[in-house]
Amino acid sequence: MTPAERLDATFAALADPTRRAILARLASGEASVSELAEPFAMSQPAISKHLKVLERAGLIVSGRDAQRRPRKIDAAPLAEAAGWIERYREIWEANYQRLDALLDEMKRAGAGKKRKTKE
């Protein structure tokens, strides 16, 4: 998935009240499919469909317990949706603009030295 596709998947996943409620439940700790289905008047297969959408968006991951396969929340796609990459890029661009100015200074200093040795 490209970052853009992932972002689309994240927003699509969040655009459903049942899925948001599932995330709310998982925010306080991992849970199995049956535990997640409990509060909803919904069959486990229906809940599993929602879980697949959330998994594809990378918002939840399956635990290693082979029998229970608890789901855990994964906040990274949300961080991406919230634009952390953009903020990161801004900070590094600011660093690099300072570096641009420093490099100009260093080039001028180098050119100055060359002129002096030529005289």
Query: Which residues in this chain contact other proteins in the complex, by CB under 8 A?
Result: 3, 14, 17, 20-21, 23-24, 27, 75-76, 78-79, 81-85, 87-89, 91-96, 98-104, 106-107, 110
Q: Between residues 46 and 91, which has the closer beta carbon with respect to other proteins?
A: 91
The minimum distance between CB 43 and other proteins, in angstroms, equals 21
Our CB check for other proteins shows the closer of 67 and 117 to be 117
Residue with tokens 């596709």: 5
Minimum Å gap between C-beta 67 and other proteins is 24
Please give the biggest Cα pair distance in the chain: 89
Between residues 46 and 99, which has the closer beta carbon with respect to other proteins?
99
Spatial distance between the Cα atoms of 37 and 18, rounded to a whole number of angstroms: 10
- Residue 5: count of CB within 10 angstroms of its CB: 10
Shorter beta-carbon distance to other proteins: residue 67 or 77: 77
Instruction: List the one residue out of 39, 82, 36 whose CA is nearest residue 60.
Output: 36
